Amino acid sequence: MSRFSFNVNLSSLRQAPAATQSEVARAIPAASGSMRRLQIQLSLSNFALVFLTSVLGVVGLGLYDRVSSENLRVADLSTEVQSMRSNLYRQVKEVIDDVLLGDPEAVQQFAQLSAAGDDQFARLTTLLRTAEEQRAASDLRLAYVEVRELGDRMIREARESPPDRSEQQRVLHTGIEHGSLQRYERALVAMRDIVAHERAERGHQLLVLKRWVGAGLLLSLVCGFALLALSSELLHRRFARPLSDVLASIRRISQGQLEHRVTDSGVAEIRELALGINTMSSELSASRLKLVHAEKQAMLGSLVPVVAHNIRNPLASIRATAQIIDAPALPADVREGLHDIISASDRLESWTHSLLSYLNPLQPNCQWVTLQTVVETCLGLLSARTAERELSIRRMGWDAPVRVEADVALVEQALTGLLMNAIEASPVRGQVTLAADTDGGIVRLSIRDQGSGMAVLPSASRRLTMRSTKPQGNGLGIPFCRKVCEGHGGQLNFVGHADGTEVIVTLPQKAVHLAT
């Protein structure tokens, strides 16, 4: 035995688009921030790489300049030491020229070379850095001063008294050549060793510096290529490829495949775009279904009145003829056939009337009523049927009146059919449970029977069934109830249970005027 029930889900008609829009609105800040985050991350990575490379270059150049300057200092130190040695030997030569050969210019040359030697030691002092260098330079200067003072004494003695050649040769041989000069040479060797060691150390530093700077620059280059590859991969995976998928999906949707959905992937902007396209596709699909339904309704609206007119006239004649022929004197089987003709005519007339009522637009005349009062009125109309099946009615939420703005006549007609279905579906001495409540401007009425359940629950897509398992049913109960509810801004819903079927009616508390 078929039954009908309905659920008015206002959110599917008006709140669902708003909910979708709110989701998109919530996604916008995250979406706009996501691309900026990716750009900032890549920019910071590039900046860090450039900064580290610059720091490495600056530090490397600074160290290279420092080592090079030190290397030049050591070279100057070596050159100055060598020049001082040459100057010293020239001074010894001038002493020999004056003492042994009597060169008149030797004294002047010796004085000039001595002054130059003082200048050289002064420059040498400015080049010294380490304590070891200073000690070696001090030893070198002591040996130099000793040689020069010995030379000065020999020149002075040669001026004061006739020179003793043999004594002068002895002084030159033992005092200068094997005495002061040897000490000077030892100090000079020590200085040269220090200079050579520092030169070797600077060369090693330069080699190490070249290696480390080269390795650092190579590492920066490798990091640069790695960052470039990573950036390309990120842009391809999170932007280019998802955008390509979006464009391909747009082409498919433009070809009429409205059921296709864009993959939710990539950066937040692409996901937002995919969400918008999917929402648009869903709305287009729903609009197409509504358009198809409207076209079918329009076709039925133009066809059914013609068919109904062509059926009603001969149907009235057939019924009238059957009533006239019916007489007590006729055989029982003939009278039974006539009664069947009259009954079938009445059913066809009722079916035609219901079909015309369904196709006519509804214009609800809404007023504020109490939902429990409307339900009690419907139960009063069905009290005889309820008593016949010995059913009990369980009421929940009846203590708090639920106010709703609705067309009383249409809602009573829909709820009467709904309650009749529940009564007929319930077993004898069974129970029908009614529950009413309101939440957030939405009124909810639940009607639950204890029947065997429905084999197939009606859905919104099955708009006009026109089938019934009731002997007197015409199959328009569920479509008519759906139409009444949608006329108030709602939709139908059915919930199957193991011990029966629950019909949920959800109505907006404040009327939404929708012509249906």
Q: What is the pLDDT of residue 436?
A: 92
pLDDT of residue 420 exceeding 80, the answer is yes
Q: What is the rounded average pLDDT of the residues 113-123? A: 87
Residue 434 — pLDDT band, cuts 50, 70, 90? very high
Residue 476 — pLDDT band, cuts 50, 70, 90? low
The CA dihedral of 326, 330, 334, 337, to the nearest 10 degrees, is 20
Q: What is the rounded average pLDDT of the residues 80-95? A: 83
Is the Cβ–Cβ distance between 391 and 429 less than 8 Å?
yes
Q: Inter-axis angle of helices 131-160 and 181-235, to 10 degrees?
A: 150
Q: What is the rounded average pLDDT of the residues 441-449? A: 89
- 261-277 pLDDT, tens digit per residue, is 887 777 777 788 888 88
Residue 395 — pLDDT band, cuts 50, 70, 90? very high
- 19-40 pLDDT, tens digit per residue, is 444 444 444 444 445 667 777 8
pLDDT of residue 516 exceeding 70, the answer is no
Instruction: Of 334, 352, 356, 355, give the one whose Cα is nearest residue 344.
Output: 352
CA atoms within 13 A on the CB side of 376: 8
Q: What is the pLDDT of residue 49?
A: 81
Q: Where are the alpha helices (DSSP H) in 97-130?
A: 106-127
Q: What is the pLDDT of residue 3?
A: 37
Q: Over the range 44-70, which residues count as b (16 or more CB within 10 Å of their CB) and which as e?
A: ebeeebeeebeebeeebeebeeebeeb
Q: In what order do the strands lie in the sheet with 431-439?
A: 392-396, 431-439, 442-448, 500-508, 494-497
Tokens of 412: 């009573």
pLDDT of residue 102 exceeding 90, the answer is no
Count the neighbouring beta carbons within 10 Å of the beta carbon of residue 14. 13
Q: Give Cα 226 to chain centroid, integer Å.
A: 23
Q: What is the pLDDT of residue 161?
A: 64
Is the Cβ–Cβ distance between 488 and 8 less than 8 Å?
yes
Instruction: Of 149, 240, 280, 130, give the one whose Cα is nearest residue 191.
Output: 130
Please give the model's pTM, rounded to 2 decimal places: 0.40
- 278-315 pLDDT, tens digit per residue, is 888 888 888 877 787 777 767 766 666 666 667 777 77
Relative to beta strand 392-396, strand 403-406 is unpaired
In this structure, which amino acid lies at residue 174? T
Q: What is the pLDDT of residue 24?
A: 41
Distance CA 77, CA 127 (A): 6
Q: What is the rounded average pLDDT of the residues 14-20? A: 39
Beta bridge mates, 501: 496
Distance CA 56, CA 39 (A): 25
Relative to beta strand 494-497, strand 403-406 is unpaired
Relative to beta strand 431-439, strand 392-396 is parallel
Distance CA 367, CA 223 (A): 75
Residue 381 vs residue 179, higher pLDDT: 381
- Percent of the chain beyond pLDDT 70? 77
State the average pLDDT for the chain: 76
Is the Cβ–Cβ distance between 168 and 100 less than 8 Å?
yes
Q: What is the rounded average pLDDT of the residues 325-336? A: 77
Q: What is the pLDDT of residue 306?
A: 66
Residue 189 vs residue 491, higher pLDDT: 189
Q: Give Cα 216 to chain centroid, integer Å.
A: 35
Distance CA 402, CA 444 (A): 9
Residue 245 vs residue 19, higher pLDDT: 245
Q: What is the pLDDT of residue 513?
A: 57
Residue 326 vs residue 371, higher pLDDT: 371
Q: What is the pLDDT of residue 43?
A: 82
If you count them, how many residues does the chain have? 516
Residue 342 — pLDDT band, cuts 50, 70, 90? confident
Most confident of 223-227, 319-323, 333-337: 223-227
Q: What is the pLDDT of residue 228?
A: 82
Q: What is the rounded average pLDDT of the residues 6-12? A: 34
Q: What is the rounded average pLDDT of the residues 379-408? A: 88
- Percent of the chain beyond pLDDT 90? 4
Q: What is the pLDDT of residue 433?
A: 92
CA atoms within 13 A on the CB side of 41: 12
- 456-470 pLDDT, tens digit per residue, is 566 554 444 444 445
